[in-house]
Amino acid sequence: MSASGTKTKRDFLKLSDFSRDELFRLLDRATELAKLRREDRSPRTLTGKTVALVFEKASTRTRLSFEAAVSELGGHPMNVDTQTSQMSRGEPLADTARVVSRYAHAVLFRTFSSERLHTFANAATSPVINGLSDDAHPIQLLADVQTLREHFGSVEGRLVSFVGDGSSNMARSFLEAASLFGFKLRLVCPEAFSPPAAEVDAAITTIERDPKAAARGADVVVTDVWTSMGQEKEVAERLRAFAGFTVDATMMRTAKPEAVVLHCLPAHRGEEITADVLDGPQSLVWDEAENRMHTAKALLEALIIA
């Protein structure tokens, strides 16, 4: 059993856990929920529901967006982190998942390896959402695509250039998103930081090594930090490897005049992106951050009450 009773549970561990049509319907709902919030008419679709937010990694946007999403829909968010739970004292992950499922109608889990994510999801009896893992960040891609759809009207056929670590969870989620949402992807990264070959669809993705070609003709330029959580000992090595890959005004001049910039945040101004670009007129990063909340609402509705 779980807090959601006998209903068959469904997880969201990667984008392709939903069909293309389901993803577009979810984003349509997110846009509708954003409009309702602006009108102070947010529905109370999660009244009486509890959502557990379990964190093994630090978080700002994921934690706050899901807390706000659950609360504004009438539910109750419960925060659990490693330091203040029995997880820090060695309780088996599967045991935590089983117990949390008895209390919560859905669980967000932010962790390190894919193995830990799947261990948790397999033991849980309530729906599990991947709040970030080493190889995927699907909830961020929902917000990214919602932002682009709202700005351009459609993402289909657009050229998206991801500049930076091609082996990162963000790059790999963009690889998955390209085929699902119908945009073309250019991945610009050093060879040593390439994604797994099996995840690259040559029909819709090109890989470039020269950062001078990174933004050429692009509709969207995306970047992320060069050193992610858990890679802190690699800072010096990564700074050397990504020299020249900074998204700056010079790079953006080669993109289309109407091109926009995305960054999932937090940003290291002066490393992967310059301050004038991040804070400039082409940046959609603040809309992107807000859309984390709207897409969280739509996802929770889909998993809990659909």
Residues with a catalytic annotation lie at 110, 137, 140, 224, 264, 292
Q: Which tokens hold the place of 121?
A: 């999801």
Residue closest to 213 by CA, chosen among 183, 186, 184: 186
Residue closest to 224 by CA, chosen among 175, 165, 183, 277: 165
Angle between helices 20-38 and 138-152 (to 10 degrees): 70
Distances, alpha carbon 29 to alpha carbons 34, 139, 249, in Å = 9, 15, 35
CA dihedral 56, 45, 64, 266 (to 10 degrees): 90
CA 139-77-287 angle, to 5 degrees, is: 40
- Rounded to a whole number of angstroms, the distance between the first and last alpha carbons of the chain is 19
Buried b / exposed e across 39-75, counting CB within 10 Å, b at 16+? Answer: eeebeebbeebbbbbbbbbebebbbebbbbbbebbeb
Q: Which tokens hold the place of 197?
A: 């070959």
- The total of other beta-carbon atoms located within 10 Å of residue 228's CB is 18
Residue closest to 166 by CA, chosen among 197, 149, 189, 150: 189
Query: For the residues of 79-128, what is the DSSP string, one character each?
Result: EEEGGGSGGGGT--HHHHHHHHHHH-SEEEEE-S-HHHHHHHHHH-SS-E
